Amino acid sequence: MLSIVKTLAVRFVTLVGVLVVVLLLLVVSLGATGFSDDLLNAQVNQELLVYRISQANAIKDPLALQFAVEQKQKELESFYGLDQSWYRRLLPQVGRVLRLDLGNARSLRTADGSSKVSDIVLERLPYTLMLLLTTSLITAVIGITVGVRMATKVGSRSDRSIAYFSAISFAVPGWWLGILFILVFAFKLNWLPAGGMYSTPPPETQPERFFDLAKHAILPIATLVLVSIGPYIYGVRTLTVSVAQEDHVVLARAKGLPEKVVTRRHILRVAAPPIVTGLVLGLAGTISGAILIETVFNWRGMGRLYYDSISGTPDEGVVVALTFLFTLIYVVARFILDILYVLLDPRVRI
């Protein structure tokens, strides 16, 4: 027992190190490459152009107008931190984020008007979890059921069909499939809404709001399921086929045990750790894909928030905070896997 706790503690410290390294690499990639400064300078120039046009009618003297624009430029550069070096602007954010002090956003706000990054994230987080957990549940049920069944029909027509479907599912871009679903089911057939989370105007009662939200979630969930279900089915099928050829399975069948018992006790139980690994890491990996899916369907989750923090008014604090949270979810998923391995595989305990 002590050795297991020690192993898990070392694993936890290692994963925390991964979290810190990811944040540092993000800051360096944003700052040292000049990408952050370019985004902020573009935003400053755009705001200065709007300011110059708005002041041109009020200030007729060209020199006075130029002076006012220069003063406004200094204010904007100070607001966006361009009067400091990138490492003075970005590196302190790593420490604050690790202390869970996510700070304030420059332009993004919650529905109530709060500028705190923590409030903005907490407002969007439930909607992203709704998509990902529902997708993972559907993927797990279908993937394990179909994958195990295909493992008993190796080389059959259905097995080959699933293999082709898995390859297509893995290759099709999620954003392209989402746009296709919108064109077919929203515009052509008019069965489902094209995007958003609620109708306009939104329902007033809570039950109606829930069903309206569920209706808007059908297309993004279907998109995420279809791009992830194929590889997972094929992975489960391959793992169970490999286990089914081992000696203990042959012996169990030779003893005359029912096929359901052989599948449940001697195949699935042995293949459970890698199957769970694929499911949990697939859940963590789906978050990155949800950025595009949420953007396509205008789903106001963390993925869309990431897109807005880069494509709209650049907000480095939100980008760093979201990267921290995405990486934290991955770290937690990996640590949960280590604990599940101890429960699923007795050899790990030894």
Q: Is residue 344 part of a domain?
A: no
Q: Is residue 67 part of a domain?
A: yes
Burial-class residue 114 by CB neighbours within 10 Å (0-12, 13-18, 19+): middle
Residues 6+ apart with CB under 8 A from 308: 108
Looking at per-residue pLDDT, the higher value among 219 and 274 belongs to: 219
Closest listed residue to residue 77, CA positions, set 126, 37, 135: 37
Is residue 80 located within the same domain as residue 170?
no
Looking at per-residue pLDDT, the higher value among 13 and 347 belongs to: 13
Q: Is residue 310 part of a domain?
A: yes
Q: Is residue 271 part of a domain?
A: yes
**pLDDT band, residue 181 (cuts 50/70/90):** very high
Is residue 281 located within the same domain as residue 202?
yes
Is residue 28 located within the same domain as residue 126?
no
Is residue 164 located within the same domain as residue 289?
yes
Domain range for 271: 120-314
Which of 31-40, 132-141, 212-221 shows the lowest per-residue confidence on average (mean pLDDT)?
31-40
pLDDT on residue 284: 66
pLDDT on residue 285: 64
| Alpha-carbon span 251 to 216, nearest angstrom | 51
The distance in angstroms from the start CA to the end CA of the chain is: 9
Could you please report the per-residue DSSP string of 193-256? -SSSSS-SSPPSSHHHHHHHHHHHHHHHHHHHHHHHHHHHHHHHHHHHHHHHTSHHHHHHHHTT
Q: Is residue 299 part of a domain?
A: yes
pLDDT on residue 349: 54
Is residue 34 located within the same domain as residue 73?
yes
Q: Is residue 340 part of a domain?
A: no
| Domain of residue 165, CATH code | 1.10.3720.10
| Alpha-carbon span 84 to 100, nearest angstrom | 24
Is residue 84 located within the same domain as residue 128?
no
Q: Is the pLDDT of residue 343 over 80?
A: no
Total of domains in the chain: 2
pLDDT on residue 331: 79
Is residue 163 located within the same domain as residue 261?
yes
Is residue 60 located within the same domain as residue 203?
no
Residues 206-254: pLDDT tens digits?
888 888 888 999 999 999 889 888 888 888 888 888 777 778 777 887 8
- For residue 242, what are its two tokens? 């490999």
Q: Is the pLDDT of residue 151 over 80?
A: no
Cis peptide before 231 (omega within 30 of 0): no
**pLDDT band, residue 347 (cuts 50/70/90):** low
Is residue 125 located within the same domain as residue 156?
yes
Is residue 88 located within the same domain as residue 234?
no
Q: Is residue 341 part of a domain?
A: no
Tell me what the mean pLDDT of segment 7-29 comes to.
78
- For residue 188, what are its two tokens? 């052509």
CA distances, 95 to each of 12, 27, 321 (Å):
19, 12, 11
Mean pLDDT of all residues in the chain? 80
